[in-house]
Amino acid sequence: MKIVVLDGYTLNPGDLSWKELEQFGRVEIFDRTPAEDVIRRAAGAEILLTNKTVLDAAAIAKLPLLRYIGVLATGYNVVDIGAARARGIIVSNVPAYGIDSVAQMCFAHILNLTNRVADHAASVERGDWCEAEDFCYWQYPLMELAGKTMSIIGYGALGQAVARLALAFGMQVLIHTRTVPGRLPEGVTHVDLDRAFAEADILSLHCPLTEKTAGMVDATRLSLMKPTALLINTSRGPLLDEAAVAAALNADRLGGAGLDVLSEEPPVRSNPLFRAKNCFITPHIAWATREARNRLFIIAAENIRAFLQGSPCNVVN
């Protein structure tokens, strides 16, 4: 059996092993695959693994031996699910592998904005402390999290993990979610969307990208927020109207933003958020701790094993 990994570098730049796949068949691994090379490289494969390389209907139609597509991620929009279903090709994803890592990155952005540790450390390295008139100084406002309100949009497993961290910091937690839970932990309150925006000291997005949520953080909702509030997005870039967020930051109508995702990735240099005040952007790495990537790989391998045993799991089509 031929197994092809179309874009393995993101998952495994060299610190993990692909050997787990070799028990299932002959494995070919490509770091990256341009669109024009997909069909040639995937030719003859019965099992195809992809992270962000697109497998559209045209490509699927030209791969007659293909039986299984494993998406090395939770989101599976890179695969034409309908075309795969029509061919009887199973498509599986890898859910819930990075909850702790993404929640950690969410708070890394929060702590960066509230304590500015790297900026103050750089100031000390420049010699500013040595020249200071007092025993201490700070160059940015410092914020204590205890007693502040954190609004979480989306309350799935990730939203719940972030809520637990917020409670541990002594914060009050407001959530807005499509399906209201029957019972919430002490300190967590379900509210409507406008209240979640209006009362947030920190607003964190953990909802899926849908037609209803695309651009949900727009000028109207930003106008509801406190001018000192912080916006965190470790979910999906298109949840933001990026021009509106940049405008709010530059006009001091929003206190700061910590973003791990953008609407286009890799981004264009003209993205307005690159020039926005107090905006910190990381390159979509919340999921990428070694521990999370290793879990992803283990689950992906188990998905293949389950498929070969006739009981496929994590099937999305």
Tens of pLDDT, residue by residue over 293-316, are 999 999 999 999 999 999 999 999
Domains of the chain, by residue range, sit at 2-97+290-308, 99-281
Measure the CA–CA gap between 92 and 101, rounded to whole angstroms.
22
Active site residue 131: no
3-state SS string for the chain: CEEEECCCCCCCCCCCCCHHHHCCCEEEECCCCCHHHHHHHHCCCCEEEECCCCECHHHHHCCCCCCEEEECCCCCCCECHHHHHHHCCEEECCCCCCHHHHHHHHHHHHHHHHHCHHHHHHHHHCCCCCCCCCCCCCCCCCCCCCCCEEEEECCCHHHHHHHHHHHHCCCEEEEECCCCCCCCCCCEEECCHHHHHHHCCEEEECCCCCCCCCCCECHHHHCCCCCCCEEEECCCHHHECHHHHHHHHHCCCCCEEEECCCCCCCCCCCCHHHHCCCEEECCCCCCCCHHHHHHHHHHHHHHHHHHHCCCCCCECC
**Considering the entire predicted model, what is its pTM?**
0.94
Q: Which CATH class is domain 2-97+290-308?
A: alpha beta
> Which of 206, 221, 284, 295 is an active site residue?
284
> Which of 236, 242, 293, 295 is an active site residue?
236
Instruction: Look up the CATH superfamily of 99-281.
Output: NAD(P)-binding Rossmann-like Domain (3.40.50.720)
Q: How much is the average pLDDT of 225-254? A: 98
pLDDT value, residue 166: 98
CATH topology agreement for domains 2-97+290-308 and 99-281? yes
pLDDT value, residue 182: 85
Question: pLDDT class for 172, splitting at 50, 70, 90?
Answer: very high
Active site residue 293: no
Tens of pLDDT, residue by residue over 6-37, are 999 999 999 999 999 999 999 999 999 999 99
Active site residue 236: yes
> Which of 144, 264, 265, 291 is an active site residue?
265
